Structure 1
Amino acid sequence: MRRSAAWLPIMAVCLFLITSVRSEAALIVYDDRDAFIQALQGQQVNSDNFENLENGYYADPILRGEGTDFEYSLSSSSIVGLMAEDLLISTTLPKSVIQLASDSAQAIGGEFTLTDFEGHPIHGDMRITLQDGTIITRSVTGSSVFIGVIGVGESVTSLSVGAAANAPLLTVGSMVIAVPAAGTLPLLCLPMFCCGRSRRSRR
């Protein structure tokens, strides 16, 4: 009985943390790949460089990691779909958006580039749309930029990236997907310790 009683304060703290997290769910946006990976310590992290993806056009969503914990999909807002070439996935029409979706990812990230029709990086603004409707605009200067989202107290089920203006095409590569490690708690206190560029919380 004494041992059981000794656990009561610990259980109370755990219950407090769980209820607090549910009311403080947040999406943390990163623009630094190293900081993103560091924030995922203790989670299961998988890199996807599209090495086993055949070059060509894909009208339907591209499913990656099928049948694993890291399963996610890439699709385009255009009916024309996406094109895979040289370890990159690109839109095929101007103003198209690359849409990432997952059922239970803790985090999703990748290297995005605005390009001309010949695949050369160009200057411009990217529009990032989170699953809660938050829109973030990011200026790019002719090179790839990392965009990653970590869910705190919630899964990252979708992420959309496109050009804010009339940039011809958008390319993505070097994806990172993370899921909670078996036997561990989800990320609960990340907002108190991380340096994500943007944050969206809801109560």
Structure 2
Amino acid sequence: MNKDKIKELKDWAKDELTNLEEKLTNELVTPEDYEDQTSSLENILDELEFLVPEKKEKSKMTDNVNHPQHYEKHKIVLEPIDIIENLPFTVANVLKYAIRAYDKGSTLEDYRKAKWYHRRVVSTFSHEKLNEILAPLAVLRFSDNAMLRDFGRQIFNGREPWLSWNNLGAWLSRHIYNLLDENDIVPEELRE
């Protein structure tokens, strides 16, 4: 799906939200239907936002070594390095590439790298070891990144971390597919 189509869909969903508010005001829709439809449209917007995020005005930052801007914009008070520096290399790289995907240039490439490391983690660690490694990552439930926020919420809500890790891999696969152009060859990491 190309960026123009995604932007068009985002604009459509925003217009639909505005129309729903007017319908509720004019009593053309029940409050229950309004809530259901609003929730659906907001979910669509969330998914589209991660395919092509809206450009936000960048603040001036002079220290790209100690406090890179593409990490500081995330809602977690800590920078991602504070969370991932004590993780195994492969686990840390999945999170690193997922976090920076929209900020460093090639979203597709970063998601593919994250997926590559994800597969290494799954083949390297047992479920028990993954549970031990990933349990502290429930803190990611506060992230602005929808994928990581969902991952953190799943762990926080009691799902075994290794199962949440598998969901993270599925999320990466879906988004890699969504970022491919129709003429692209399916990447090796998606041929399972």
State the TM bucket, normalised to the shorter chain. under 0.3
Q: Name the structure, 1 or 2, with higher relative contact order (CA <8 Å, separation 6+).
A: 1
TM-score by length of 1: 0.24
Give the strand-richer structure, 1 or 2: 1
Give the helix-richer structure, 1 or 2: 2
